[in-house]
Structures are given as structure tokens and as C-alpha cells.
């Protein structure tokens, strides 16, 4: 089973919170929320990450 980038980020946020790294966990959560909005709620997988997707995401963040 493939896991989405969002499930990975959820795990990372939890780990950071458990380690007392609240600021880092908050930043991960912000990235996750923005990426989720960019993907229109569809799952994203590591194989989906391309230079074009990164460029489109960067443009999305500037709007």
C-alpha cells in the first residue's frame, strides 16, 4: 500500500510534538494544509513530485 505525503506529514507532526518541537510541528502542519489545498484534497504521493509540480506549488503560494 502506498502512503500519501499527507499521511507522512501527519506522522512527522506527531513525532515533532512528542519531542517538544512545537514550532517545527506547526510549520509542518502549515505546509501540509497548504499542500492539501493546492492538491484540491486529492492524495499526493512521492512519485507525484516533479519539478513542474514544485513550480506550480510555489506559484500557488504566491497568490
Write the pLDDT tens digit of every residue in 15-62: 999 999 999 999 999 999 999 999 999 999 999 999 999 999 999 999
Domains held by the chain: number: 1
Q: Does position 1 have pLDDT exceeding 80, yes or no?
A: no
Residue 41 DSSP class = T
Cβ neighbour number for residue 56 with a 10 Å cutoff: 12
Structural domain that includes position 48: 5-62
Residue 60: strand, helix, or coil: helix
Position 12 confidence tier, pLDDT thresholds 50, 70, 90 = very high
Q: Quote the pTM value.
A: 0.86
Amino acid at each position: 500500500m502506498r502512503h500519501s505525503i499527507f499521511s507522512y506529514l501527519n506522522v512527522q507532526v506527531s513525532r515533532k510534538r512528542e519531542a517538544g518541537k512545537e514550532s517545527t510541528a506547526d510549520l509542518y502542519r502549515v505546509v501540509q494544509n497548504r499542500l492539501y489545498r493546492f492538491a484540491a484534497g486529492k492524495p499526493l504521493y512521492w512519485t507525484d513530485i516533479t519539478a513542474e509540480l514544485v513550480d506550480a506549488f510555489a506559484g500557488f503560494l504566491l497568490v
